[in-house]
């Protein structure tokens, strides 16, 4: 069963908003045989009349994350839940395909995510780090990292290469293909 941590920036989280978010996100439990017991982190914000919702659901073998912007907060909630449902279906399809090919899923997912608001600000030629994120990097092959990156909608993904046990970065090139940076 999900436990919710709902936070608002420039927005008061009313009971109606809280109930709507919990009701919609709880519907994701139907995709699991046993309801996952994880905390759902929801960040609601308003900037320039644009509503933003970010939802992160860390689970044992999967990290779900989606972000959506809309003029209507309730529409943004619906859109972000649709994204999360697509991620779950895509993950289940991939796990089932891998189970048929190899016998059982071996790899665990992790996320390295770039937040649009996490930009460097220059102030008198000084670089200021305005936000720091830490993630556990799970071992996986580069193809799996590329799939995870696509599933999250990011342009790059940091992971531990299961074959070399080194930190690698997979990224999407401008031509639509993928690149791999080995350290």
Q: Same domain for 69 and 137?
A: no
Q: Same domain for 93 and 132?
A: no
Burial annotation 94-128 (CB, 10 A radius, 16+ → b, else e) = beeeeeeeeeeeebebbbbbeeeeeeeeeeeeeee
Q: Mind listing the pLDDT tens digit for each residue in 56-76? A: 988 777 788 999 999 999 999
CATH code of the domain covering residue 164: 3.30.505.50
Q: Same domain for 94 and 144?
A: no
Write down the pLDDT at residue 35. Answer: 66
For the question of whether the overall pTM of this predicted structure is more than 0.75, the answer is no
For the chain, the C-alpha Rg in angstroms (whole number) is 18
Residues 6+ apart with CB under 8 A from 126: none
Q: Same domain for 101 and 177?
A: no
Q: Same domain for 30 and 5?
A: yes
Q: Could you list the residue range(s) of the whole structural domain that residue 144 is in?
A: 107-183
Q: Same domain for 112 and 96?
A: no
| Secondary element (H or E) of residue 158 | strand 156-161
Write down the pLDDT at residue 99. Answer: 59
pLDDT 10s digit of each residue in the chain, 183 long?
788 899 998 888 999 999 999 999 888 888 776 766 788 899 999 988 889 999 998 877 778 899 999 999 999 999 999 999 888 888 877 766 665 555 433 333 333 333 333 333 334 456 777 778 777 788 899 888 888 888 888 888 899 999 898 999 999 888 888 999 988
CATH code of the domain covering residue 4: 3.30.160.100
Q: Same domain for 94 and 176?
A: no
Q: Same domain for 92 and 119?
A: no
Q: Same domain for 33 and 85?
A: yes
């Amino acid at each position: 069963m999900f436990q919710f941590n709902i936070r608002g920036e420039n927005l008061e989280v009313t009971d109606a908003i809280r109930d709507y978010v919990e009701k919609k996100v709880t519907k994701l439990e139907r995709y699991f045989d046993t309801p996952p017991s994880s905390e759902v982190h929801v960040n609601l914000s308003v900037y320039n009349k644009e509503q933003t919702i970010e939802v992160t659901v860390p689970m044992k073998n999967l990290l779900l994350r989606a972000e959506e912007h809309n003029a209507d907060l309730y529409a943004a909630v619906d859109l972000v839940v649709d994204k999360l449902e697509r991620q779950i279906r895509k993950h289940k399809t991939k796990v089932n395909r891998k189970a048929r090919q190899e016998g059982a899923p071996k790899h665990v997912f992790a996320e390295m995510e770039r937040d649009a608001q996490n930009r460097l600000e220059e102030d008198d030629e000084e670089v200021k780090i305005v936000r720091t994120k830490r993630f556990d990097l799970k071992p996986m092959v580069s193809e799996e990292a590329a799939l995870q990156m696509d599933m999250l909608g990011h342009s790059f993904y940091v992971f531990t290469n299961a074959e070399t046990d080194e930190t690698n970065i997979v990224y999407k090139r401008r031509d639509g293909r993928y690149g791999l940076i080995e350290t």
